[in-house]
Amino acid sequence: MEPAVLLLVEDDPTNRALVRAVLSRAPQVRLRDALITEAATLAGARAALASIRPDVVLLDVRLPDGNGLDLARDLALEGRLPTPRVVVMSASVLPAERDAAMAAGGDVFMAKPFRPAELIELLAKWMIGPEQR
């Protein structure tokens, strides 16, 4: 089985390092060996999407050059097949923020800071067959 392909869109280098560390310790080989492309801006994420086909986009909402939800909307409208799953991540946990994330095309909203086990469980559900979990 090929490794998972993830696009991590997060402007905070500490948060990017945390996601990498969590995945590097995942019990599932496909997650542990995931090919992670990082982008700190919307422009960087769009450039990355021109050359990769991620299984999942881990997407921060507040980025230095705009709102991450704009990228979620673009992905939903693009019709890319297969469509990547979008995990919207934000420190703002107000119901309106969650609703906006889902309306923009997010598949799930994850509050920051997140629990590592929660991220692993979610990614394993989406990217690994039940027989390999």
Which domain range does residue 18 map to? 5-132
Structural domains of the chain, count:
1
Q: What pLDDT does residue 82 have?
A: 77
- pLDDT at position 129 is 52
Q: Left, alpha or beta for 118 (phi > 0: left; psi -120 to 50: alpha)?
A: alpha
* CA distances from residue 18 to 9, 22, 24, 35, 110 in whole angstroms, order as listed: 13, 6, 10, 15, 14
- Report the CATH number at residue 67: 3.40.50.2300
**What is the structure's pLDDT at 117?**
95
Average pLDDT, the chain: 91
pLDDT tens digits for 47-63?
999 999 999 999 999 99
Give, in order, the Cα–Cα distances in Å from 7 to each of 35, 98, 112.
Answer: 9, 21, 17
Q: Where residue 95 falls among pLDDT bands split at 50, 70, 90?
A: very high
pTM higher than the cut 0.85: yes
For 57-88, the pLDDT digits (tens) are 999 999 999 999 999 999 988 876 678 999 99
